Structure 1
Amino acid sequence: MTATSPVGLHRVLEPTGDALSLPQAARRLDASPEIGADEVRIDVDVLNLDAASYRQLAEKHTSGGAVDGAAVRAEVLDIIATRGKMQNPVTGSGGMLIGRVAQVGPDSPLGLSVGDDVATLVSLSLTPLQITDGLERWDGLGERVPARGHAILFGRSIAAVLPEDLEPELALMVMDVCGAPALVSRVIADHRERTGEAPVVAVLGGAGKSGSLSLAAAGVAGASRRIAVVPFQREADLLEGSGLADVVAIADARSPLGLLGAVEEAGGPADVTVVCVDVPGCEQPAILATAQGGTVIFFSMATNFAAAALGAEGLAADVRMLVGNGYVPGHAELALDLLRTTPGVRALFESRLAGEQTRAL
């Protein structure tokens, strides 16, 4: 077995030399199936594309109000073949996958065994990936992508064995966004320790995967008030009666005054604002809806972080802004426990999964 780097530098094909990048920033990776001593090869079952990435691809290939699924599928295949990984060149994001462990290097520190059904907890944007079935079972019309191929995990990657009490693809949906509720819990605990008060929490995109889990985590962590912001009545209807929010507000998260008014009417401004929407332009509205001394957590790959920084300066906003990097120790376990113990979250996730599976038939 060849010498390897625990962070995957040996898999970077472009750039090379003095400009050598880590795998996430690299233009092209070596996705060959032969593994190094600390690597693991996964046989892929399903890819789960990042929401911002899929939205960009779908909008690019929409004509006459209809998404050209074949064109989306062709572009995803081209990205993977060209880059050796699934990294949308526009959004920079990828997603994650589930599969079965096919081979484990003798020095792998991940604790995995051949035959384990696992979810990768690192982004596809840095995971060497080859597809062998042409994605023939995917219609290109959703984030869930049935696939055959293989992926490579490095010595410093993260993966979790799928729980036996949950459907694998349900667990995948949860693990795909498990960093969000874990960081929300941490921020609320920090706020309570600093101020001695329970915070008002606003979640933009509260009916989505990361949004609903963030609302559930906020409740467990002791938020004084949970405000869910959604753009449409149909999403508000999903949350009504779920027990996940004290107030559900309908507002466009890209509208500064519209969002501010909705949050204030719902009991804000927010001490903690969590941005879980997958569209650009929400940075300054989120900052404006957050109280001085509060915290904004950006969990969307559509976020323009320069716009967030300059927007806060321009608004004279004394707010702490955090990038949700997807990893907090214990994040998968926390998110799965929220799914198991929070009926409102489980109902939303099962409904979403059922809709995707029905559409795929």
Structure 2
Amino acid sequence: MTVRAVTHSPFGVHRVLDPTGERVTLPQAARVLDPSPETAPDEVRIDVEVLNLDAASYRQLREKHTGADGVDGGAVRQEVLDIVAVRGKMQNPVTGSGGMLIGTVAQVGPESPLGLQVGDRVATLVSLSLTPLAITDGLASWDGMSERVPASGHAILFGRSIAAVLPDDLDPELALMVMDVCGAPALAQRVVQGYVARGHVPSVAVLGAAGKSGSLSLAAARDAGAGRRVAVVPDAREAELLRGTGLAEEVAVADARSPLGLEAAVRQAGGPVDVTVVCVDVPGCEQPAIMVTAQGGTVIYFSMATSFAAAALGAEGLAADVTMLVGNGYTPGHADYALSLLRGDDALRGLFESRLAAEQTGPA
């Protein structure tokens, strides 16, 4: 394929192959993108090193290919290859989500506004669901058993894309893990600061608190001046990971999909709370999250598994006067802020390093 002969757009519309004409969409909503390596004047081409699939997408792929004998990693790998080959991007057709990548800048168009230089090692801060992508190694170094995907190929960033040069003081893949979810702590910080500015110290509950976005959101809430922080996790193992870290005053074990179970657990931990952050990568948490949020409170849905129709209709059905926010992956300065949280908290950094070591080692 070659780049379509239309005026290039900073939004990447010139890379959309399907749909076309009057129904042409932005790249994230497109069915097929053109991943050709030739760059438009404001584009950047990146040589890919590692993909990081988002949690909801990887979970769906893993569950789809789990049988009586366990996970078929080869089938997971082949489906990712098929998605990229057909769509020209890594966008899970079920979840609609993608992930991020690490790579090295190979070419910079003369009109690119991103401030990148050839040779920079970067993490993309835009989703793979809208990033033109081609894979050339068949993902031969990936066993399909983790979100971390060693890969060779190239990706294209548009004029309106975002990327960050990897910091020198952190393992590049550790930095990628943080940047992958950096929108969550930035938004949590902003919401908590808004309460504090109005003279109210808010209580905060984080669902999925031991994960990447969850643990960072707890750290951000503490940094922003939150009061009682409640970490909700699904089992005793994850609860043990958080106890003693100082990220939360209370650690509650509950299924975030269970309305009555979650409500009881958060109530016992001092709830309902002013702010609830949903970082669980499975569907069904929309209405339980509303139930644990006080009237006049705020629910942040930072999960690609969220059904926003279920959230809106659930709030109506529960007569809940809550503000519901979509977890936008972009907030100005979000990557630097998330990395600063990691650098400033040894316990938080330990959680991330343990997770990275487990992904790099793979299953026993």
246, 259, 278: which is aligned to 1:256? 259
Is the partner of 1:295 in helix, strand or coil? strand
Deviation, structure 1 residue 193: 2.4
Q: Deviations over 1:268-301 (max 9, x none)?
A: 1110000000000000000010000000000110
Is the partner of 1:118 in helix, strand or coil? strand
In structure 2, C-alpha distance between the alignment counterparts of 1:65 and 1:128, rounded to whole Å: 35
Structure-1 residue corresponding to 2:24: 20
Map 1:128-143 → 2, pairs under 5 A: 128-143=132-147
305, 309, 324: which is aligned to 2:308? 305
41, 44, 50: which is aligned to 1:46? 50
Is 1:200 aligned to residue 203 of structure 2?
yes
In structure 2, C-alpha distance between the alignment counterparts of 1:97 and 1:256, rounded to whole Å: 36
Whether contact under 8 Å (1:203, 1:214) holds in the other structure is: yes
Q: Percent identity?
A: 76
204, 209, 222: which is aligned to 2:212? 209
Map 1:280-359 → 2, pairs under 5 A: 280-359=283-362
Deviation, structure 1 residue 341: 0.3
In structure 1, C-alpha distance between the alignment counterparts of 2:279 and 2:119, rounded to whole Å: 34
Map 1:1-361 → 2, pairs under 5 A: 3-64=7-68, 66-194=70-198, 196-359=199-362
Whether contact under 8 Å (1:138, 1:360) holds in the other structure is: no
**Residue 158 of structure 2 aligns to which amino acid in structure 1?**
F
Whether contact under 8 Å (1:86, 1:94) holds in the other structure is: yes
In structure 2, C-alpha distance between the alignment counterparts of 1:333 and 1:74, rounded to whole Å: 35
Q: Deviations over 1:88-113 (max 9, x none)?
A: 00000000000000000000000000
In structure 2, C-alpha distance between the alignment counterparts of 1:145 and 1:4, rounded to whole Å: 30
In structure 1, C-alpha distance between the alignment counterparts of 2:348 and 2:299, rounded to whole Å: 23
In structure 2, do the counterparts of structure 1 residues 65 and 190 end up closer, same or farther at CA, with 3 Å as the change threshold? farther
Q: Give the gaps of 5 or more residues in structure 2.
A: none
Q: Deviations over 1:206-248 (max 9, x none)?
A: 0000000000001110111110000000000100111111000
**Residue 22 of structure 1 aligns to which amino acid in structure 2?**
L
Deviation, structure 1 residue 18: 1.1
Is the partner of 1:33 in helix, strand or coil? coil
**Residue 305 of structure 2 aligns to which amino acid in structure 1?**
A
In structure 2, C-alpha distance between the alignment counterparts of 1:142 and 1:359, rounded to whole Å: 7
Is the partner of 1:228 in helix, strand or coil? strand
In structure 2, do the counterparts of structure 1 residues 307 and 358 end up closer, same or farther at CA, with 3 Å as the change threshold? same
**Residue 351 of structure 1 aligns to which amino acid in structure 2?**
S
In structure 2, C-alpha distance between the alignment counterparts of 1:18 and 1:41, rounded to whole Å: 28
In structure 2, C-alpha distance between the alignment counterparts of 1:327 and 1:150, rounded to whole Å: 23
Q: Deviations over 1:136-166 (max 9, x none)?
A: 0000011000000000000000000000000
**Residue 131 of structure 1 aligns to which amino acid in structure 2?**
I
Following superposition, which runs of at least 4 residues in structure 1 exceed 2 angstroms of deviation?
A: none
**Residue 62 of structure 2 aligns to which amino acid in structure 1?**
A
Whether contact under 8 Å (1:110, 1:157) holds in the other structure is: yes
Whether contact under 8 Å (1:139, 1:360) holds in the other structure is: no
Q: Give the gaps of 5 or more residues in structure 1.
A: none
TM-score (norm 2): 0.98
TM-score (norm 1): 0.98
**Residue 208 of structure 1 aligns to which amino acid in structure 2?**
G
In structure 1, C-alpha distance between the alignment counterparts of 2:291 and 2:244, rounded to whole Å: 28
In structure 1, C-alpha distance between the alignment counterparts of 2:58 and 2:223, rounded to whole Å: 31
The root-mean-square deviation of aligned C-alpha atoms, in Å, is: 1.1
In structure 2, C-alpha distance between the alignment counterparts of 1:102 and 1:303, rounded to whole Å: 36
